[in-house]
Amino acid sequence: MITVRNLHKTFNNKIHVLKGIDYTVKQGEKIVVVGPSGSGKSTFLRCLNLLEVPTEGEIWFDGRLITDPRTNINEIRTHMGMVFQQFNLFPHLTILQNITLAPVEMKLMDKTEAKERAMQLLERVGLTDKAQAYPAQLSGGQKQRIAIVRALAMNPKVMLFDEPTSALDPEMVGEVLAVMKELADSGMTMVVVTHEMGFAREIATKVLFMDEGMILEEAPPTEFFGNPKNERLKEFLAKVL
């Protein structure tokens, strides 16, 4: 579904963040990316929908080369949902407007359809009563669940999560992870950058370890946590577990 070849990213011609990433995400997989901060994992994720433009390399999505400037990236992005660490809900719009804005603007649905779909999704995350509220009236956990719903409203083929629980108070992490688990169980293809090792262990089909701009290990969670091979991964796991 997503194929990355020889991906490099350099910021300001100096800071070499990604140093040649090759990876393929298949339909239905749940890839969890872990690694120390500054390892390039967020940059890697943000390259997948071209929020960061790679300096070198290719990214293919559903057989289309999205790093080609002629590709309509806006159309591609409607198939790739993204959830951010800081939620990034639109504060001037109600929850319902937050969710229906893009499907209606991108002409995927008319207003009534989008509203119905939004209410269904809100029901799924148990927040129907917040439809008319503004983001400022919600807790962090609620905001992130809405952000997930906003991305899902586009009916994406893949969901990208950029440290979705890192900005949350500890007691709110659970409710967001629960929504993500449910989403994983429904068969969604997911790429998740996170520090939640429990989530990786339970949900991931593959766990990737990134450090200094490279993927140093990739393995199913039992092997990844039970029998790590890379030295730096061993050190990393010793610190975080």
Partner 1 sequence: MNFSVLWDKIYYNFIYEDRYMMLVKGLGNTLLITLGSILLGIIIGLFLALFKISAENNKKFKILGILSNIYITVIRGTPVILQLMIIYYAIFVSAKDPIPVAIVAFGVNSGAYIAEIFRAGIQSIDKGQMEAARSLGLNFRTSMQLVVLPQAFKNILPALGNEFITLLKETSVATVIAVPELLRGAVNIRNITYEPYITYIAAALIYLVIVVLFTKLQGLLERRLSQSDHR
What's the rounded Cα separation, in Å, for the pair 166 and 143?
Answer: 13
What share of residues in the chain are helix, strand, coil (percent, to 5)?
40, 25, 35
Q: Which of 31, 80, 173, 219 binds partner 1 (CB under 8 A)?
A: 80
Give residues with Cβ within 8 angstroms of 24, minimum separation 6: 2, 3, 4
Extract the tokens encoding 34. 């872990």
**Cα–Cα–Cα angle for 120, 176, 46, nearest 5°?**
95
Burial class (CB in 10 A: 0-12, 13-18, 19+), 98: buried
What does DSSP assign to residue 26?
Answer: P
Within 147-166, which residues bind partner 1 (CB under 8 A)? 147, 150-151, 154
Smaller CB separation from partner 1, 162 or 196? 162
Smaller CB separation from partner 1, 34 or 45? 45
Please identify, among the stretches 23-31, 101-109, 205-213, 231-239, the one whose residues bind partner 1 according to the rule CB under 8 A. Answer: 101-109
Please identify, among the stretches 63-71, 110-118, 145-153, 228-236, the one whose residues bind partner 1 according to the rule CB under 8 A. Answer: 145-153
Smaller CB separation from partner 1, 65 or 106? 106
Judge whether 25 and 44 are in contact, CB under 8 Å.
Answer: no
Place of tokens 């992490």: 173
Q: Which of 120, 137, 155, 222 binds partner 1 (CB under 8 A)?
A: 137
Min dist. Cβ of residue 217 to partner 1 (A): 28
Min dist. Cβ of residue 223 to partner 1 (A): 32
Q: Which of 3, 88, 128, 230 binds partner 1 (CB under 8 A)?
A: 88
Min dist. Cβ of residue 159 to partner 1 (A): 11
Q: Which of 90, 120, 132, 185 binds partner 1 (CB under 8 A)?
A: 90
Residue 91, interface with partner 1 (CB under 8 A)?
yes
Place of tokens 């969670």: 221
What's the rounded Cα separation, in Å, for the pair 153 and 121?
Answer: 7
Q: Which of 22, 56, 68, 75 binds partner 1 (CB under 8 A)?
A: 75
Judge whether 93 and 101 are in contact, CB under 8 Å.
Answer: yes
Q: Which of 30, 77, 130, 145 binds partner 1 (CB under 8 A)?
A: 77
**Cα–Cα–Cα angle for 65, 216, 57, nearest 5°?**
20
Where does this chain bind partner 1 (CB under 8 A)?
49, 51, 74-78, 80-82, 84, 86, 88-94, 101-102, 105-106, 134-137, 147, 150-151, 154
